[in-house]
Amino acid sequence: MDRYQRVEKPRPESTINENEIRITAQGMIRNYISYATSLLQCGVFVSGVVRSLDLLFLVPQLWAFEKRMREIVLKAMGQAISKTVAIAEVIKKRIPGLHQDTTISSASITDVWEPIEEGLVP
C-alpha cells in the first residue's frame, strides 16, 4: 500500500435541519443530551440525527405529544451507534411522554486508490 495513494472524493454537502443532531464518536454524551433537551423544552420543532463512519445508520426519532408534536432525530454511524442509543434512553427518561421510533439502514463506502509509480495496476 506504500506505492498507492488514496483518492479523496468530495463529500456531498448535505444540509442539516435545525431539528437534526448528528452524533459522532468523539462528542460528549452530556452535551448532546443537554442540547436535545433544550430543543424539546423550548417548544421548537426538533429533529436529531446522528451519523457515524460505519455502514449502519441508527435513527431514533423521539417526539412528545403536547400542544403540538415535536420531534428530534438522532443519526449515527459506526462507533457512535451505541452512544446514540444511550443518549436516546437518557432523553426518554428525563422528558416524560416521549416515544421512540428506530430505523436502521446501510450505506456502501468504496475507497479508490491510484498508483504512485508507473507500471502498477490502478
Is residue 62 one of the residues assigned to a domain? yes
Question: What average pLDDT score do residues 25-40 get?
Answer: 91
Asked if residue 97 lies in contact with residue 64, where contact means CB atoms within 8 angstroms, the answer is yes
Domain count, the chain: 1
Instruction: Evaluate whether residue 114 is within a structural domain.
Output: no
Adjacent-strand bridge partners of 6:
113
In a domain, 47, yes or no: yes
Tell me how far apart the alpha carbons of residues 97 and 91 are, in angstroms, rounded to a whole number: 11
Residue 11 within any structural domain of the chain? no
Q: The domain that contains 28 carries what CATH number?
A: 3.30.110
In-domain check, residue 30? yes
pTM for this structure? 0.67
Where residue 71 falls among pLDDT bands split at 50, 70, 90?
confident
Residue 119 placed within a domain: no
| C-alpha–C-alpha distance, residues 40 and 102, integer Å | 18
Residue 36 lies in a domain: yes
In angstroms, the Cα distances linking 102 to 14, 94, 121 are 22, 19, 43
Residue 23 maps to a domain:
yes
pLDDT given for residue 82 in this prediction: 94
| Cβ–Cβ < 8 Å for 57, 76 | yes
Residue 53: the pLDDT is 38
User: Hey, what's the cell of 6?
Assistant: 488514496
All three cell numbers of 55: 455502514
